[in-house]
Amino acid sequence: MKKKIDIRQLSLESLTDEIAKLGEKPYRAQQIHDWLWKKRAISFDQMTNLSKSFRTLIEENFIINALVLSEAQISKDRTIKNAFLLADDAVIEGVLIPTKKRMTACVSVQVGCSLDCAFCATGRLKRIRNLNADEIYDQVVMINDQSKKEYNLPISNIVYMGMGEPLLNYSNVLKSVERITSKNGLGMSPKRITISTAGIQKKIIRLADDGVKFNLALSLHAANDEKRNKIMPINESNSLGALKDAMIYFSEKTGTRPTLEYIIFKDFNDEIIDAEELVQFVKSFPSKVNIIEYNSIDNGKYQQADPIKVDAFADYLESKNVIVNIRRSRGKDIDAACGQLANKNELAN
């Protein structure tokens, strides 16, 4: 049996070529392209302005590997965690985070993760594969539809902070952003999109050279190499000095202010000396710091810091003219908060 082509992996030009091979006119490719991206069709039967015979022809040659929502859990704070089933039966998770000011979609970029961060549930999973650009895009579309259905509001922001490391899926992540921001996609401003990375120096420099318009967030969590090595093995090959140079380059090249994410752990990185190390790291480039409340995972070594220490940490940063926000956890009761995303069945195996 002839293997069908995943139609959403094709550019308009490639699709036009494939349609020509079937003996059809080039405008047919544009029609299909519009259905796939403008109208977000997930089956060929939905393409109602195409003749039944043509729909049969393309269904014989192509396939649409659309995501399927297999489960949705709603938190007490209205956060919704979604389990999405992929065409190969793998499962990923994406989250809708509603607040008073914004509706945020948090999306995944890989099935599993290879970075093995000590505090993250996803890091316990082996990395199976990267997501395709359309699989990332589908999460955004489906969470946006969910937001409008449940809360009567479209999403206002997108964060690539779910399962996986975005810069280890560089090409597909950028392709998904291009689709999300395209007039033929969701038409969102890139300024509403934030890509979060654990810190890969060469890829951060590449982002700057590629002239990206979206926001960048660096998951720092410690401004001391010895401490960061303990919780984030990637630091051994991407030291703080190397990351600082990359962030300076990114900031100067793009003219944007990166965000530094700092999960604060009890008795690990919550002292004033840790705050001073963070000040020394950020003073070389314009930035802002998000202090993130930690969300414990099963049998986890690390615990949430005392709120008094968190406030003192933030006050010290502010006294040194660092822009700082304290991010409270959302969706903890359904394991939807930062660092908690994981396929529970995979963890049990």
- Average pLDDT of every residue of the chain: 91
How much is the pLDDT for 347? Answer: 39
Domain chopping of the chain, boundaries: 5-63, 68-348
pTM of the full structure:
0.89
174: left (phi over 0), alpha (psi -120 to 50) or beta: alpha
Higher pLDDT, 77 or 245: 245
Q: What confidence tens digit (pLDDT) does each residue in 131-175 have? A: 999 999 999 999 999 999 999 999 999 999 999 999 999 999 999
200: left (phi over 0), alpha (psi -120 to 50) or beta: beta
Sign for the CA dihedral angle at 118, 75, 81, 146 comes to negative
Q: What confidence tens digit (pLDDT) does each residue in 39-84 have? A: 889 999 999 999 999 999 999 999 999 999 999 999 888 999 999 9
pLDDT of residue 20 exceeding 60 = yes
Q: Which of 114, 107, 218, 207 is nearest to 157 (CA)?
A: 107
Residue positions annotated with a catalytic role = 93, 338
Pick among 3.40.50.1970, 3.40.50.300, 3.20.20.70, 3.40.190.10: CATH of 68-348:
3.20.20.70
Percent of the chain exceeding pLDDT 70 equals 92
Q: What amino acid is encoded at 211 in this protein?
A: G
pLDDT of residue 179 exceeding 70 = yes
pLDDT of residue 343 exceeding 50 = no
* 293 strand-pairing partners: 264
Distance in angstroms (rounded) separating the CA atoms of residues 313 and 15: 54
How much is the pLDDT for 184? Answer: 81
How much is the average pLDDT of 278-285? 96
How much is the pLDDT for 126? Answer: 79
Lowest mean pLDDT of 119-128, 204-213, 338-347, name the range. Answer: 338-347
Q: Tokens standing for 186?
A: 């969701």
Pick among 1.10.150.530, 2.60.120.680, 3.20.10.10, 1.10.10.10: CATH of 5-63:
1.10.150.530
194 in Cβ contact with 107 (< 8 Å): no
How much is the pLDDT for 344? Answer: 47
Distance in angstroms (rounded) separating the CA atoms of residues 6 and 298: 38
- How many of the other CB atoms lie within 10 Å of CB of 237? 10
